Structures are given as C-alpha cells and as structure tokens.
Amino acid sequence: MDYEIVKQKYNKFIYRNYQIEEDKQNLYLKYNFEIENLTTFQPVLTIPKKNFKWQHLETGVVRNVVFHIGMIEAISYWKATCSPYFDVRCGTLGEEQIQWFKKLIYLGTGEFRYQNKIKVSQEDFVQIVTQGTELKPESLKYTLTDVIIPIGGGKDSNVTLELLKQSKQKRFGFRMNMRDVARKCAEIAGLSDDEIIEVKREIEPNLLALNQKGFLNGHIPFSAVVAFITYFTAVTLEKKYIALSNEESANESNIKGENINHQYSKTIEFENDFREYVTKYITPNGPEYFSFLRPINEIQIAQLFSEFDAYHPIFKSCNLGSKSMPWKWCGDCPKCLFAYIILSPFLEPQKMVQIFGEDLFEKESLLEIFIELCGYGEKKPFECVGTYQEIRYAISKTIQNGNQELPFLLQYYKTHFPMVEEDMLHFYHPKNNLPKEFDEILRGKILTC
C-alpha cells in the first residue's frame, strides 16, 4: 500500500498497556497495541523459567524495562501503517526520551523506508505523545555477576563463546526463538540447556493478516528488541554483563552517501545510545551492555573462527538454511557468499566445500551478489555482511594464496577489480565499550594471532 495514503487513513497507533504474568513453567510479557480504526494486537513474549531464579519482578526497575520492551516491540506493529501519531498511554516519557525513540525508529527503519520508497525527515516521521505513570530510574539494591552471551549460530557469537571461556565470569547463553543450530553451538561451547536463557517471540496473527493484505512491511531494528529483552533478563537474574558479538564493520551504510544501515541497531552509535539511555532512565548501576568483538573486523573474526574446528560442520549464517531441517547453507544468498568469502583466506578450498556443500566461487549465478558485496554495485545487500574493504581484502588474500586455476568469481575479481594490499589482520579499534577484563582477553588473543 502507498505510504502517504495508509498513514493518513490510519493516523494513530496506541500503546495501551503491558503486563508481567507467570505460572510454574514460564514468564509472560504481554502487550496491548492498537491501530485506531483498523485492528488490535496482543503480542506475548514467553520466557521458560527452567531452573533460573527469576526475581525482582515487582520492582520499579523491572516494570520500567518491561514498558520499554513494549516501546520497541510496538515498532513491528506500528510500521504496518506508519501512523504519524504514536500514542503511549501506559507511561510518561520526557522530551529527551521521546527524541531518543524517534531517532531509533527513524534510523532503525532505514532499510524499511528505502524499500517502501518513504521520503520523510526524522522529525516528521512520527510524533510520540505519552501519558500515565512516570517511569523513574532506580538504583539496584543487589550485586550483579556473570555474563550473558546472545547466541546466533554464526561464526561471530561462536568466537565470543569460545574466547570468554577465559573470563572469570560464568557464561550464560541467550537466544530468541531457539533454533537447533544455536543450541548445538552452545553445546559445543560447553553450555548446558539450563545455562541458556530462552525467549519465545511470535508475530501476532493480526499483523500477519495485514501483511497478507498488502500493508507496509519490512525490516525493524531487531537488535534493539534483543537489547531491551536481554537487559530484562540480566536485571531479573542478577547478571552483570551482556556481551554482544557485533563487530566494527556493522557501522557501514548499505547505501553509499546515505545513512541507511540494515545493521543500525548493531552499530557503535546505537550501543552508546542504549548504554547512556538505560543508565539515565532505568538504573544507574545496572548490567553493562557492550559488544565483545567491536574492536576488531570481520577478517580477524574469520581468522579466529578458523581455529575452532568443532563448530565448522555446525555453524550457519544463512537465515534460510538455519530454519531448515536438517540445517544447511542455501548457497544462493548474500550471507552464504559473504561467509564463504571471509573464511576463504584461512581454510583450504577442500575444507570450504566440505563446510558449505559446494564451491560458491564457481557459481556464476552469484555474480551480481558478488559485485554488490565488493562495493561495485548500486547498493550493499541488506544483510549482516562485512564492509566492502574487508570483502575485497579477503578475496585478494585468497587469490594470493591460490596455487591453481582460479574459480569463476575469483577470476572475475582479478580481471575487473583492484587487489587490496593493506594489512587488516592487526586492527584494534579504540572506540569500544569493553570492560577491562574482556578487553584484555580479546587484545591478548589478537596479539598472538
């Protein structure tokens, strides 16, 4: 549907209320949203209790976090109409907080706006009005320990899982909608099922019905959803650290000359904004949220991961393949090709084929994606992939390592594009939020590679 028409017809989105409920098996975070004159939504986040001690559920800090999870969850439903008025009726936010959410909604939906040809300024995209209980920050009155590590099933979180075996902090995994790939990777890392915090998140059927009817749809800042939900689990389970696996390259835009980033909520900008926000508006002494891999690039992560043989038959970065049974690489998407490229300097061609099931460098059908990944197309694919320079470097390194006839895509690169000579294996970005203990682990590993 046309953005201008649908936003005028359905001009108000309402966040009515939220609830925390529980039974013997689960916690439930329940939300009530409405697009006025169209439909309502009642999404539920289900959190299996397992053997964890879920505490502090009645405190102001926890209620504050649960309210904020709703603010982020609401974006998935609001985007169907992009209603110009976002009416929050279950909590009052100050002007600075409103501007924080306007920025997140605008930059976090950059891909969505691009795909739906929405031309609008950040200020005019949505107006947020709030009423209800004032949500005041409170200090925690208990000590935090341990580290939560979100698990994706790809190489990045597996590197974090392995390296943080060196930490003095006990590791706990976190996964939204647990898939077998992620569960197996956690098992290889030495985590039992009772050391994995799981959240079940399903899209409410009324939104799926709107999607079928052609209402607006597209990418939201999903990592911001993960940020607030992991923060909830850390506060209630008394965990000190949330260690993401976002790397420096997440900061690169997908559209040259524009701030449109598929990975916006994985950027250092969002990480810094989130850390500042929760400290100022939720609790000043709460869990620390940071990306463990932020100081290094995709090349270095791939080099580290190449050493962890146990994960090679299991890990998957392919969204389609990790949903299938048995899980596999689809071999046709940007994430498959990117993973193949970035690992190719460090693993023998035979090992690459063994992992991916085929030689992706020989697939002529991937040429257009290959050109886009290298930065010579109209845009960077809207997927979680590395920077142009990282990809060019990996390809150049693989070509230089070769001692036989080059496969199709590598020969194409050598014929049409310049080789990259710079050293990208000894990089350590100073702009990061790693606590000292974690910085020493990562820096020590990089220096010995």
Q: What is the pLDDT of residues 276-289, one digit of tens each?
A: 999 999 999 999 99
CA 174 to CA 357: how far, in whole Å? Answer: 29
Segment 10-24 shows an average pLDDT of 97
Mean pLDDT within 392-405: 90
In this structure, are residues 276 and 270 in contact, taking their beta carbons and an 8 Å threshold? no
Q: Which residues pair with 46 in a beta bridge?
A: 28, 200
Rounded Cα distance, 47 and 149, in Å: 16
Helix, strand, coil percentages for the chain (3-state, nearest 5):
45, 15, 40
Question: Cβ-count burial of 131 within 10 angstroms (0-12 exposed, 13-18 middle, 19+ buried)?
Answer: exposed
d(CA 276, CA 261): 21
pLDDT at 172: 98
Residue 323: its pLDDT value, please?
A: 63
Q: What is the dihedral of CA 401, 402, 407, 412, to 10 degrees?
A: 60
Q: What is the pLDDT of residue 249?
A: 75
With contact defined as beta carbons under 8 Å apart, do 174 and 201 qualify? no
Average per-residue pLDDT for the chain: 93
pLDDT at 324: 60
The 10s digit of each residue's pLDDT in 223-270 is 999 999 999 999 999 999 999 999 877 777 777 767 777 789 999 999
The C-alpha atoms of residue 298 and residue 266 are separated, in whole angstroms, by: 14
Which of these ranges, 27-41, 76-90, 194-208, 313-327, has the smallest mean pLDDT? Answer: 313-327
Out of 55-59, 120-124, 321-325, least confident range: 321-325
**What was the pLDDT predicted at 243?**
98
pLDDT digits (tens, 9 = 90+) for 148-190: 999 988 899 999 999 999 999 999 999 999 888 899 999 999 9
* Residue-level pLDDT at 80: 98
| Domain assignments of the chain as residue spans, ordered by start | 3-291, 318-416
Instruction: Give me the pLDDT at residue 386, please.
Output: 82
The amino acid at 354: Q
pLDDT for 320-372, tens place per residue? 765 666 678 888 899 999 999 999 999 999 999 999 999 999 999 999 999 99
**What is the pLDDT at residue 112?**
94
pLDDT on residue 242:
98
Q: Which two tokens stand for residue 344?
A: 């190719």
Task: For residue 143, give Cα distances in angstroms to 60, 234, 236.
Answer: 17, 11, 12
> First-to-last CA distance in the chain?
52
Q: Mean per-residue pLDDT for 204-231? A: 96
pLDDT in tens, 413-443: 999 999 998 888 988 998 999 999 999 999 9
| Range 233-264 burial, b when 16+ CB lie within 10 A, else e | bbbbbbbbbbbbbbbbbbbbbbbeeeebbbbb
Q: Mean pLDDT, to the nearest integer, of 102-113?
A: 95
pLDDT of residue 203: 93
Q: What is the DSSP string of 245-264?
A: ---GGGGS-SSTTS---TTG
The Cα 375–Cα 392 span in angstroms is 9
Q: How confident is the model at residue 318 (pLDDT cuts 50, 70, 90)?
A: confident
For residue 442, the model assigns a pLDDT of: 96
Whole-angstrom distance, CA of residue 392 vs CA of residue 406: 16
